Amino acid sequence: MNIKYPIDSVHTLSVEETITAFETNAHDGISAAEAGARTAKFGANIYAEQKQKSVWLMLLLQFKSPIVYLLLFAVAVTLYFQNYIEAIAIGVVIFVNALIGFFMELQARSSMNALKEMDVILSNVIRDGKTLQIPSEKITVGDLIVLEAGDVIPGDARLVEANQLQCDESSLTGESLPTEKNIEKLSKEAALGDQFNMVFKGTSVMNGNGKAVVTGIAENTQLGTITSLVDSHKETQTPLEKKIAALSIKLIWITLIMTSIFAVTGIIQGKHWALILETSIALAVAAFPEGLPIVSTVALAYGMLLMAKRNAIVKKLSAVETLGSTNVILTDKTGTLTENKIYVDTFSFPEENIKVTIENNALKYDKAAVEKNKNNFEKLILIGALCNNAAAKNDDKKKLLGDPIEIALIHLADASSTTADALKEANERIEEVPFNSDIKIMGTLHKSKTGNFVAAKGSVEHLLVKCDRILFGETEKELSEDDRKKIITESEKMAAEGLRVLAFAYKEDKEINKEDFLNGLIYAGMIGFLDPPRLEIKDAILSCRNAGIKIVMITGDHPMTALNISKKVGLVDDTEQKVFTGSDLPDMASVTDEWEKKILETAVFARTTPKQKLEIVGVFQKAGNIVAMTGDGVNDAPALKKADIGIAMGLRGTQVAKETASIVLKDDSFTSIALAVAHGREIFQNIQKFVVYLVSCNLSEIFIVTTLGFIAPAATLLPLQILFLNMVTDVFPALALGLGKGDKTVMDRPPRDPKNLIVSNRDWIAIGLYALSITFACMAAVIYCKVYLLVDDKTANNVAFITLAFAQLFHVFNMASAKSKLLLNEITKNKFVWLALIICAGLMSMVFAVPQMSRVLELNMLGLNVWFTSITASLIPLFLVQLYKIIFGKQRK
């Protein structure tokens, strides 16, 4: 065995050269022993699947965050000082957040596993001259495989025999129509979609039969090459993760600065080091919103569950929000914007064209026009049903195997006044001239009760050569040269509209020569076929465009077909003519700024390779866009992974695409993407609200601890009290904000600038003012109680604790938008807000009522006058903010 494997450009070899190069036999294949030796040398025919993270690694990654690192440091410090209760409390915060994220991602993985295709693919192979059926994983280099309609091809292979062989390569090339195969050698420059003498792993046989020598298995296939592109690209951090990380770092710096200022000031004032350290820890706990990870995770998880109900499986929590910030959607055509099925679209008769659709198994058309061309119409249906080799799969008449165009013709006949089976039964086939790449015509001879009937279909130019007459309604006339030119011009016009055009002809006579029946035919008309757009797509695309989202089609299909579909779905207007093909695009390694600008302005790309799809995603990302990529084929997988959000189709999507994507659509509907974008935008609004709420609450705690540290050190809030507030009175209202319904007009506005942080400079000003108002309320309550009610330091501490707690609870109503009404707005209408307030008020009552809890938090039973003062003071921030909104709101009006 001296095979030099792998061999490049196998399509340039002749059949004899291929057999010699792979040391095989065109009739008997290789021996079983040789197959075993080659498997041992070249490995099994299994491409490397993307490795799933282990369960333990998935759990550990939940702790990968600056927030968690700071909290873990706080745990270490509190343990060092033997403050075990505080350490346990902070540890619980960390662990609960990690568990929520872990179980949400685990649920997404389980959903994905449920979508996996579990069937073992069997292949027919000739070994030792005998045809065997073996699992595709056991196919090896040099095997002679037998191909028939319905087979999934187990490896890349060079054809050595092909009889009307057609393959569906849409998952690899994006081409809707099947590729016709032959055994002729090709030039080295032949593109993947033009390698007609090759078949490729993962594609399927639609029609005909043949034999092929396996030239590539596992990673050394086109499928394997694409898989390696997927694996070589590292996942990028999502925009939300980047923004929360940036906010966390900013909060860490605020913590360090405030703690350092207090520590240095305390040392200068000669305060005891233990007091300085305890207050510094309190500042550190106060500065950081421990509830932020939990609230973010729960809000995203809630959105994830809602999207699951809307047929979208979200595999990573942060993908929910990232989709909401998307401003560019790059979409595949076949199966995403179209149905990935061929339908009859247009009848072209000698005198006019008629649009045809099939709805509920019934033909829809202009009845007056068809009545005028009734004879031609009936002849086209008859020819299409008879000159046809599509057949039922396993006698199931609802499932047909064969050329998609022939399947469309069967559906056409069944939707008419008769059925294809009835027409075939009344016209027994006695001869056939199979389609081949030389004559480009298929013809069949039939015997009926009235005589013989010839049915023929094929290339317009080639079939017209066989015709000498033309059918005009009820009459026939000689086919003139002007008629031929008119028909060819019309066929070119239909092709320019993205239709696949076939001509149809017939002949009737009592006696017809079986040896030569494809001459002297009567031209009946043409049919234009189309992979139609999905019905709901146009509204979904319009919704996205109104929301400021650019939609771009990237497909491997024909340029005119791509442009035609893009016009029909509203992706471009009817005047658009610009389409970039893969051959037009320069090498991205040396692309100029001018070319990048052209790419960014283009809405339709055709005949693109998987590598070019990947590079186009990169160009849009480089320009600062948040890019979502949709697709279902193997050829889409690398771009799905590189995009900020990869969206795969769950029904038609290949396993590679589904494993690579961030989101999988169970219903394959582009409309679900528009709904998900809207929901993602609502979620980000909610995230902004609860981040502003949490940070303003925590900043107020910093101000309060610092102020009390100077004017009443013994009354300073304790770390455990602050932690309780952060995990109770902060978290529940923030969580309620995160679960709100949001603004329903989000799709009427452009997407936010992806460079904007969660908390803008304007938000920081508002946060500062909120924090100062809460601080003022607490200080007013403490000073009033110490001066007028003459309370001790411990009671003053409790006053600060109560006032801060209820001020933060009431502060949630300040999160209503500036233009909303005072009493009826998105916050007061949020049932979760009221539930949160009831829970928090109950918990506050419980910590005072339960001795063990009050002892841990160092709380005392207080008099009614103290409670009244604290609750009244806690309303000050709400009063001040609402007064500000009323005054400045009127000024704006």
Catalytic residue among 143, 156, 332, 403: 332
Identify which of 495, 533, 625 has the alpha carbon closest to the alpha carbon of residue 332: 533
User: Residue 279: which H helix or E strand, with range?
Assistant: helix 273-287
Q: How far apart are CA 434 and CA 608, in angstroms?
A: 32
**Number of residues written out for the chain:** 893
Q: Is residue 508 classed as helix, strand or coil in its secondary structure?
A: strand
User: What's the gap between Cα 515 and its chain centre?
Assistant: 55
Identify which of 105, 94, 103 has the alpha carbon closest to the alpha carbon of residue 294: 94
Residues forming a β-bridge with 441? 458
Q: How far apart are CA 1 and CA 375, in angstroms?
A: 64
**Phi then psi dihedrals of residue 126, to 5 deg:** -100, 120
Q: What share of the chain is helix, strand, coil (3-state, %, to 5)?
A: 50, 20, 30
CA-based end-to-end distance of the chain: 87
Four-CA torsion 532, 538, 540, 542, nearest 10 degrees: 150
Q: Is the bond preceding 239 in cis, omega lying within 30 degrees of 0? A: no
**Phi then psi dihedrals of residue 555, to 5 deg:** -140, 160
User: What's the gap between Cα 466 and its chain centre?
Assistant: 49
Tokens standing for residue 392: 């039922």
Tokens standing for residue 879: 């009063």
Q: CA 19, 25, 29, 31 torsion: positive or negative?
A: negative
Q: How far apart are CA 242 and CA 267, in angstroms?
A: 37
Q: With contact defined as beta carbons under 8 Å apart, do 152 and 121 qualify?
A: yes
Q: Say whether 332 is catalytic.
A: yes
**Strands 144-148 and 204-216, sheet pairing:** antiparallel
Identify which of 216, 184, 186 has the alpha carbon closest to the alpha carbon of residue 200: 216
What is the set of active-site residues?
332
